[in-house]
Structure 1
């Protein structure tokens, strides 16, 4: 048996550069991981070539998604004489811009690699991941990174986030990624120049970094969904909009707050009944 933690991904910056002929979009992103996670337990079973998923999340239990597809591929490609049962204790909200399914798939790829001593390299695992989802290659790692293309071009970097945490606020509202990108293709994406935040990374300047966080999908999601708009306004009105941005295509908002920020903690306590909300550490 082996256990892996599947840490949530947050986008600290997103630009949408354009749509490709295959339907995917080229992106400019800055991603990081936080200590909100699902727990993945993998056990060997006496059923050669079989991979099954058990979860407290009904979507993951239906045996027809990128998580089970990744598990089946790993078993049938590398150890077809083996079988596994995967139990996922799901905590990351679904359809929330936190790559919940992708981090689970990535953790399963890592876990099977360890369990059966396949000795796959990071690049080899990422090449497997991209077959099933554009977010999976980044989700294999637990470091901040610049991510480009559809998600396959990954450049990790060192940055001092130690004095900051992530306030996460999810309105328990599912947002369709496809719908958001379709609207963006029709009406345009709210892109800005990535150079300023890249310069902040190069200089390890956290204040400039916070000032230049951005998500080109945010305006689309806010205009499409009243609950998402209300969530954004609640955070902005109570805590200000510095370091506040949506992650992924929504519906979750994140705000970089100082570790000592008592107002952010008070926001969490006041709004726990209304939102899925807490303060998390960067990995």
Structure 2
């Protein structure tokens, strides 16, 4: 990959689209996403399903019965489903409790609140709700690290409500977090070539975004420095999606050496083979 003489910058109007995931058993995964997360099925066919809030898909699932669990390699750490309000995140927490869905952790990042859990194949998921931007600390919370999530305060926002079986409108993809083999090499690609702005470099992890957001992408070396690409037939990320104004696509395309055609845009791969699609935002 080569960078332009001037530092590239992605537009502040950037949004993220659906993540595309490999799963080993489609029916099992669809049932889990419906029951535990309350997602709605937008479409389902042989070997593929699309899920979201009933209006906008956030997850595309592809079945590979030969897929093995992820191991010590680059790829997905987690993706974050972003709820439009604390109330919606609280309803998600109630849904997890009622369905006895195990979680792996919960944090208050000061910019956003988050609950972490795996799907049936071990794909990492973060359920998140942003705080008002006026409440974000100047360091975006990176210097002090996260605090424990105050579940009592979160659940108080919907006290007395009946449980909701499905998510309400407004669920979107918030950010991705990836495993990579080298943080500096990741910054050279995602910041210096693609045009994300650096927000924090913690040594073993870095966070980048557009428009001053706390992060649209994080990447870390927690599976080991120098790890390689994911093997074939592995559960996890096929590609994630960046949505740009149509007139911005050509500028990104000009900054990369190799790209594959995709409906409405193109797909590029980072140094570890992890793919990101750039597509035009819906009008």
Q: Calculate the TM-score normalised by the size of structure 1.
A: 0.30
The structure with more helix, counted as a fraction of residues: 1
Q: Which has the higher contact order (CA 8 A, sep 6+)?
A: 2
TM-score by length of 2: 0.30
